[in-house]
Each structure stands twice: as structure tokens, then as C-alpha cells.
């Protein structure tokens, strides 16, 4: 007897994963990609800082990169070749302080920064009255702004070049204003030789429009007018029209295209920056010629401190190798104990027989 086909059977649908482009279709330049990972064991706050840095480097980074204790730097280099990764951001912790290394794959150079202070994105949000971090904020890469690096020193020129190439370049004539959602600011202090690392979100507000009117246009919510005699009182009543913040002329721009429902082309809008984190205070201590190895091009504290820092990093690698070997030895001992127990059980069974 023939079998009837079940009409309720759902067809198989193959999900197509959209691949990210490797070359910018406007500028034609290669899009930089990054890995953010750790070397050695990190405490909880530094682990959260690592996740904040991955979120900052979106969308051209491995947000869910998994690390294991047995992974070496060569493993990440091999994976970077397959995924066309151009930069490494490596966090580590010593007895003295945490360090951040920014390396160019595959041949270097490597910049080593000492992290004096840092604040997580959650800490920044808790300190603000109205934190702003919409989910669409990280769909486009941030802009990069460097301040105070033009002193003419060679190590600062190299630092500027590395940070400029870690994010995609933009063309001022063809860039879409709607894609400029975030900005990363690095400010170098000549006196203290420290670098202030900040991460902001960019938002535009039309000049001369009160906050209530902006919210009404953006959210499509009908305001409560029961206490008012006329609709015009919503705008003209004292307290309503004075809610707009004072706009500085230096922070206003004329838009060339529409952005959202409020900011229209050929109108003045005020540029507002709101910090979203993470925040770091960095100090450049060493520059190596290769990828975490090679000749030391620059050292902030001289050769002795560079050797000391190198010895600390070697101690970290040795401790990682010792942990791996200890784990292998323990596993071998456990296997040997299990085999001995099985042999004893077999001998006892034979004796009973």
C-alpha cells in the first residue's frame, strides 16, 4: 500500500550567515580586525574590562572569542591568519600592575602600556543620571581622535600610527553622518606622560528646541494636557520652553543630511558627547620591534626596567607552562591509579575463582 506524504512537514531552510566585508567599498582600504584576549590569570574586574574592550572594538572584533589555559600566542597568531586579524589587544596582570599590549600582526611592533587606573562601563553608567547606551550604538566602528601626540618624538609618532590604523579609515566626502555614533579619545599629557583613554557616544540635538518637544517627536507619545487650557500652552508655558540646554556656538554644526526625526538637513544641531566607558589611564613603557618579542625600540625607564618588565612577562609564561605541565602530570597520575585499581580487582576475582 502506498504511503501518503505528510503535508504538515516543514521544509528545511538553510540559514545563510552574512559575512563581514574585508575591504571598505568606499575607500578601498583593508578593514582592520582585532582580537582582545588575556595572557595569564586575570581577576574579575580585569575580565570585565576585557569584555568592555571587545564591545568597544565592535563590529570588527571577535566578541565571543573563547580562551583556554593551554592556548599559546602561536595559537592566536594561527587563528588570526585565517580570520585576517590585523591587531591584538592583550591584557595581563603582574604583581605590580596590570598591562595592556597593543600589537600589529603578524610582524609587530608591540606597544606595552601600564594601566594606572581604569573604570568599567557599568561604573560609568551608574555614575550618570541618565545613562545612554542604545543597542544600535555598536553596529558601526567608532571614530578615533588623538590629542597631544604631536611632540615630534619617534615613539609618539609610532603610537599615533598604531592607533590610527586600529579602526577603519573614513572619507569625509562620502561618510554617512548616521554611522558616526561613537568616538574614542586619547589625550597625551606631556608633563605626566600619561594617556587618558575615553569612549563617548555621539548624539545630536536641534538648536532652540526644548526637551519636551524633542521627546514628543522622537517617541510618538501623546503628552498629558489635562492641566493645560490650550495646546499652545505646552510650548509657551513657563518651564516648558526653558528646558533646552544652552548651546555653545563652537559645538553646533549644519547638517548636510537628515538624521532621525528631529535633526533635519540645513539646520543647526548641537553635538553632545556622553561617556559610555571603559575609561583608562595608560603609560607607554615599552615598544618592541616584533610581535611581543624582538629588539626594544623604546623604553620609558631605561634598559634595567625594560629587562625587569620582560622578566615579569617571562615569569607569567613560565607559570602558565607550569600549570599546563602540572595538569598533564595530575591527569597521568589519575589514569595510572585507575589502572592499578582495575588490576587489583581482576587479581582478586581470579583468586576467588
CA torsion angle 289 305 189 132 (round to 10): 80
Q: 59 and 142 in contact (C-beta within 8 Å)?
A: no
pLDDT (tens digit per residue) in 61-80: 999 998 888 889 999 999 99
Rama region for 48: left / alpha / beta (φ>0; ψ in -120 to 50; rest): alpha
Tell me if 105 sits within 8 A of 279, measured CB to CB: no
Reported as a single tens digit per residue, the pLDDT across 229-280 is 776 666 665 444 333 444 555 577 666 666 666 666 767 778 889 999 999 9
pLDDT, one tens digit per residue, over 151-165 is: 889 999 999 999 999
Average pLDDT, the chain: 78
Reported as type and span, the H/E element at residue 309 is helix 302-352
Asked if the model's pLDDT at residue 175 lies above 70, the reply is yes
Q: What is the pLDDT of residue 238?
A: 44
Q: Strand, helix or coil at 288?
A: strand
In the prediction, which pLDDT does 3 show? 61
Buried b (16+ CB within 10 A) or exposed e, 219-242: eeeeeeeeeeeeeeebeeeeebee
Locate 84 and state its grid cell.
585576517
Give the CA dihedral 41, 46, 50, 51, nearest 10 degrees.
Answer: 110
- When pLDDT is averaged across residues 162-189 and rounded to a whole number, the result is 90
| pLDDT above 70 as % of the chain | 62
Instruction: Evaluate whether 258 touches 265 at the Cβ level (below 8 Å).
Output: yes
Amino acid at each position: 500500500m502506498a504511503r501518503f506524504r505528510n503535508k504538515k512537514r516543514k521544509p528545511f531552510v538553510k540559514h545563510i550567515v552574512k559575512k563581514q566585508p574585508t575591504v571598505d567599498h568606499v575607500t578601498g582600504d583593508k578593514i582592520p580586525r582585532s582580537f582582545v584576549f588575556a595572557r595569564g590569570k586575570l581577576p574579575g574586574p580585569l575580565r570585565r574590562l576585557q569584555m568592555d574592550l571587545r564591545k568597544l572594538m565592535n563590529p570588527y572584533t571577535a566578541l565571543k572569542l573563547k580562551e583556554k589555559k593551554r592556548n599559546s600566542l602561536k595559537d592566536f597568531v594561527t587563528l588570526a591568519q585565517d580570520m585576517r586579524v590585523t591587531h591584538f589587544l592583550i591584557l595581563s596582570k603582574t604583581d605590580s600592575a596590570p598591562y595592556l599590549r597593543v600589537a600589529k600582526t603578524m610582524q609587530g611592533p608591540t606597544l606595552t602600556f601600564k594601566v594606572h587606573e581604569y573604570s568599567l562601563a557599568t561604573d560609568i553608567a551608574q555614575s550618570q543620571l541618565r545613562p545612554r547606551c542604545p543597542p544600535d550604538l555598536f553596529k558601526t566602528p567608532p571614530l578615533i581622535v588623538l590629542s597631544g601626540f604631536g611632540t615630534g618624538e619617534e615613539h609618539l609618532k609610532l603610537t599615533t600610527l598604531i592607533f590610527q590604523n586600529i579602526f577603519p579609515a573614513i572619507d569625509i566626502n562620502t561618510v554617512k553622518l548616521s554611522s558616526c555614533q561613537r568616538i574614542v579619545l586619547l589625550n597625551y599629557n606631556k608633563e605626566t606622560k600619561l594617556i587618558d583613554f575615553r569612549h563617548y557616544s555621539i548624539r545630536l540635538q536641534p538648536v532652540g528646541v526644548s526637551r519636551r518637544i524633542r521627546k514628543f517627536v522622537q517617541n510618538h507619545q501623546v503628552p498629558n494636557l489635562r492641566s493645560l487650557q490650550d495646546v499652545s500652552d505646552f510650548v509657551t508655558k513657563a518651564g516648558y520652553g526653558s528646558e533646552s540646554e544652552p548651546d555653545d556656538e563652537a559645538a553646533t554644526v549644519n547638517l548636510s543630511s537628515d538624521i532621525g526625526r528631529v535633526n533635519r538637513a540645513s539646520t543647526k544641531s548641537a553635538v553632545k558627547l556622553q561617556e559610555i566607558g571603559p575609561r583608562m589611564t595608560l603609560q607607554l613603557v615599552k615598544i618592541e620591534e616584533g610581535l611581543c618579542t624582538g629588539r626594544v625600540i623604546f623604553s620609558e625607564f631605561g634598559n634595567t626596567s625594560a629587562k625587569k618588565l620582560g622578566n615579569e612577562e617571562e615569569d607569567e609564561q613560565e607559570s602558565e607552562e607550569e600549570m599546563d605541565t602540572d595538569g598533564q602530570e595530575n591527569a597521568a597520575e589519575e589514569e595510572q591509579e585507575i589502572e592499578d585499581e582495575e588490576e587489583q580487582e581482576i587479581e582478586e576475582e581470579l583468586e576467588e575463582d
